[in-house]
Amino acid sequence: MHFLMRADLETVKRDGFTIFTKGSEVRLPQVRCAEATEEIGPVDVVLIAVKATANRELERLLPPLLGAETALLTLQNGLGNEEFLSERWGAGRVMGALCFVCINRTAPGVIRHIDHGSISIGEFRRPASARARALVEAFRAVEVEAKAVDDLARERWRKLLWNIPFNGLSIAAGANVAEVLADRNLRALMAEGLDAARRLGHDIPDSFADWQLDRSETMGAYKPSSMIDHELGRPVEVEALWGEPLRQGLAAGAKMPRLEMLHGLIRHQTARGALRGG
């Protein structure tokens, strides 16, 4: 495995990665890392972990990695990322994955795993394939909870039921997960998401929202990544996480007044943060 390092290259070359997880410290002292994709060359699978705000950079980064059969597996949040990849490099290459995990990068080369850790992998606009199942087995081989899914779009909306309210309210209210759980807008936003998903053909039961809330109880004062990006003055995935779900929901006939308000507020707050440099 190769890592493209957009930051911390010299530190990781020297020290590798350190991962704190479940009371343990895991060291990866030797990591194959590069500053440019030209140093890596064609590969079997590209795991895309940049934020959706950096998608335009992929037009420069991805071509050196592409062979005839290279798969593009995006781990990004929100809607529109598979479409972006498909339009440029063909739908046949494109796969998506949903990660449900609480992690923060706390220092160069240092990752803190706080809670959970699972991944769902699917093909873009088609059922799970042999390559999707092979990737699932590769994750399971290193003790990562993983599954293959036949309906990637449905999985994206299932993840959005968490991302829309928790990432959104964390920015709007300056709140961590424990504080968002007490926000009276939380369930209303989840209800709007459920309605939009169902109108778009994704049958997600009310019990799934309850399950998401139950899973969140153990996260404590965890700060979602969007909140951290906003606090540090970095770009926030406003359109992928709130804008595109809102547009798709409204087009399907859903009423989403709280998401409309939240989207507008986040656009305002993140623009103001960018102007003042965080």
Rounded Cα gap, residues 46 and 90, in angstroms: 14
Answer yes or no: are the C-beta atoms of 45 and 73 closer than 8 Å. yes
Give catalytic status of residue 51 as yes or no: no
Structure tokens at 160: 């959005």
Structure tokens at 7: 């930051």
Which amino acid would we find at residue 19? I
Cβ neighbors of 182 (< 8 A, separation 6 or more) are none
Helix (H) or strand (E) holding 178: helix 177-181
Cβ neighbors of 132 (< 8 A, separation 6 or more) are 95, 121, 122, 123, 148
Catalytic entry in 13, 22, 159, 255: 159
Which amino acid would we find at residue 140? R
Rounded Cα gap, residues 18 and 1, in angstroms: 17
Answer yes or no: are the C-beta atoms of 122 and 149 closer than 8 Å. yes
Rounded Cα gap, residues 82 and 76, in angstroms: 9
Active-site amino acid positions: 159
